[in-house]
Homo-oligomer: A and B are copies of this chain.
Amino acid sequence: MLTERQLLILQVIIDEFIETAHPVGSRAISKKGTIPYSAATIRNEMADLEEMGFLEKTHSSSGRIPSELGYRYYVDHLIAPNPLHKDVKIIKSIIEEGFYEFEQIVQMSAEILSELTNYTSIILGPELMETKLKQLQIVTLSPQTAVAILITDTGHVEHRSFKVPTVINPSDMEKMVNILNDRLTGVPIVRLNEIFHHEVAQLMKMYIRDYDRSYEYLQEIFVYDHPVKLYISGKSNILMQPEFNDVGKIRTFFTMMENENEVVNLLRNSQHGIKVTIGNENEVEAIKDLSLITASYQLNNDQMGTIALIGPTRMEYRKVISLLDGLSMEMTNALYKWYQLDE
């Protein structure tokens, strides 16, 4: 176990390193006055801390920097139970100020978050698994084309253009929309395609002339291919961090960030509450020397989405954790209000 003094020294070193990004030497700590011991004493303790794996040296005669284990310990034990970060209030007031759609709130939150931290923020939109079709509309643009509009009970709107089968005339179309609305309203949008195939097909055959020939045009309306939406902000923000002084590193990071799937996977396995993943704890190669912090926001205990920050392992964990904690609460609230509308 660590002694009181070792804890203190570890904390001071990490705090200092997080602030300056320079290795911390024993003399500097001693001079600072937080710890009333001489440099030599501190040196001994540092040697012990290094042996235990909490600290590292960049070379044999350099000052110490925290190891990943050190950060881990710091995050798990040395951060005071998060007092809400003052900036959360700012976010809260911004969210409540206007009548924003959920997407706007998310977008703004991502921007604020990256601005406040100088890291890259990522927000995974709410999982739409549970949202249901509220209404389907089809607007004809020309004899050959039309746009189908799906409105969900959460106010989410999707649209796709499609070719109108030549065999369908306007009155058929009207009948069709009626049937579809009748049968599909209330169906979870992820199941639309399935229900359309199995339950609606027969009905269509009865009422719509030549339905078989129309079928292939219509089916794509219900293919739901936007499982989640990503909001990323401050990608270039992170370039201000001194650890991004290497072009190769920047390349791998940005290449990873352009791959939406990879980013989604990064966040997907996040759990309830806040989760900190430091350096090599990350599974994804490209961020094995970065830290990822995720927080979930939710509705009625169903997990809905994830907020995350990516930054160097030398991250301001204290600030970031309390910010994310607060923001996820605010977003949960905002989302809750949205759903309330529906009752």
Contacts and interface: CB of A to CB of B under 8 A. Distances in A.
A94 interface: no
A239 B139 CA distance: 44
Interface string A310-343: 0000000000000000000000000000001111
A70 to B, nearest CB: 27
A101 B161 contact: yes
Contacts of A340: 142
A258 B235 contact: yes
Interface string A210-253: 00000000000000000000000001100110001111001100
A258 to B, nearest CB: 5
Contacts of A239: 247, 250-251, 254
A168 interface: no
Interface residues of A, number: 40
Given A236-B257, A251-B239, A155 B149 contact: no
A34 interface: no
A303 interface: no
A175 interface: no
A134 B245 CA distance: 52
B151 A341 contact: no
A141 B258 contact: no
A157 interface: yes
A258 B240 CA distance: 14
A169 interface: no
B341 A145 contact: yes
A240 to B, nearest CB: 7
A107 interface: no
A142 B341 contact: yes
A197 interface: no
A117 interface: no
Contacts of A73: none
Contacts of A149: 137, 149, 151, 157
Work out how many copies of this chain go into the complex: 2
B240 A254 contact: no
Nearest to A236: B254
Contacts of A202: none
A196 interface: no
Contacts of A151: 139, 147, 149
B147 A139 contact: no
A17 interface: no
A99 B147 contact: no
A6 interface: no
Contacts of A141: 134, 153-155, 341-342
Contacts of A183: none
A236 B236 CA distance: 11
A20 interface: no
A137 to B, nearest CB: 6
A181 to B, nearest CB: 11
Given A147-B155, A244-B247, 11 more contacts: A99-B162, A99-B163, A134-B139, A141-B153, A141-B155, A141-B342, A157-B157, A235-B254, A236-B258, A239-B250, A239-B254
Closest 5 CB pairs of A and B: A236-B254, A142-B341, A157-B159, A145-B341, A101-B161
